[in-house]
Homo-oligomer: A and B are copies of this chain.
Amino acid sequence: MTWSNGDGDAIQLGHGGGGRLSQQLIRELLLPALGTSDGVLHDAALLPAQPGRLAFTTDSYVVRPLIFPGGDIGRLAVLGSINDLAMAGAIPVALSLGLILEEGLPIATLNTVVASIQRAAVECGVAVVTGDTKVVERGKGDGLFINTSAVGRVDHNLCIHPPAVMAGDAVLVSGDLGRHGVAILAARDHLGFRTTLRSDLASLLPPVQALLAAGLELHCLRDLTRGGLASAIDEIATSAGWAIELQEPAIPVGAEVSGACQLLGLDPLAMANEGRMVVVLPQSQAEEALTLLRQVESSAAQIGTVLTAASPNNPWPVQLRSELGVLRPLDLGQGEQLPRIC
């Protein structure tokens, strides 16, 4: 069986059984594709000693379809977890890869996704050092689910998390919103609309490193994945115990995303992104931060301000001020509008 000419070749249950087929899958497809072809298989990978604090994160990826405009589940699985490290201001040290394959998955699809994983890992300066493959029966999975976990090192002394947020802070976004969600929806044929939009899927390491290198006092970073800006801002406000007011006209949403959301009755602020983040930092540093963010994405913008804590008179953690100056609470939504967006 040659892994490379995958016509008709498909994953069998035995590829997950721990016997000869499992070893063949690991030795002939996974290890060479991931650049770890020394042929030595370890239960646990050893990492060199790291100075300072560590960051650790995990995410599973069940996106549908597996390949979409601007990316695929493999690239998403690497950048998604690396972006979670970036939200702690951490530099990636090592990545793990857990695959859950459905019986019948074409080997050619697996080859494509694993090659994409490797390219994304190289781009982020990290290696897949440990992994695992399971196979479930036909009809008990959906082609391919991926888990990645990542270890990073923290070279700064900041505490970048909601409790560090202060009244008066500026709230920025690193670019226009909603392109990942719309690209995924468009790729689901049955939705019956077409767009030239591609996912915003991208590594957030470069902009975060630029902000840290400039010595900016980052209070909170949050990448805008499932649930979009709405979910992230609500979490930050609720965790931090402050209220946040967003200026609706300042929130960057492209015309194509805006149009698609109107067509489908969806809220662009709740649409998923995979290469966008919120940055909360002192208002006095907002301009410098925006200049740095715009070197990566010209649409980066300040979209709001942290106010004092929510009060009985104003019980909403996040409010939106419209173009006409009217305030309304942010609608978090029940969250079921977009299943399996990541």
A interface residues with partner B (beta carbon < 8 Å): 12-23, 39-62, 83-85, 87-88, 90, 94, 96-100, 129-132, 134-137, 139-142, 145, 147, 149-152, 154, 161-163, 221-223, 225-228, 230-231, 234-235, 239, 270, 272, 332-340
Closest B residue to A88 by CB, please name it. Answer: B44
Q: Distance (Å) between the CB of A77 and the closest chain B CB?
A: 11
Give the Cβ gap from A240 to chain B, nearest Cβ, in Å.
9
**Chain B residues closer than 8 Å to A51, beta-carbon distance:** 49
| A39-B87 contact in complex given A96-B56, A98-B60, A147-B58, C-beta closer than 8 Å | no
Whether A225 contacts B18 by the Cβ 8 Å rule is yes
Q: Is the CB of A132 within 8 A of B60?
A: yes
| A335 vs B147: C-alpha distance when bound (angstroms) | 23
Bound-state CA distance A47–B85 (Å) is 12
Contact residues in B for A55 (Cβ distance below 8 Å): 44-47
**B54 contacts A19, C-beta separation under 8 Å:** no
Known: A14-B334, A98-B147, A136-B145. 14 other contacts (CB 8 A): A17-B339, A18-B335, A23-B234, A23-B235, A39-B239, A40-B161, A42-B161, A46-B55, A47-B53, A47-B54, A56-B96, A56-B130, A96-B149, A100-B100
- 10 closest Cβ contacts across the A-B interface? A19-B335, A18-B227, A18-B226, A17-B335, A14-B336, A149-B149, A58-B96, A147-B147, A44-B57, A43-B87
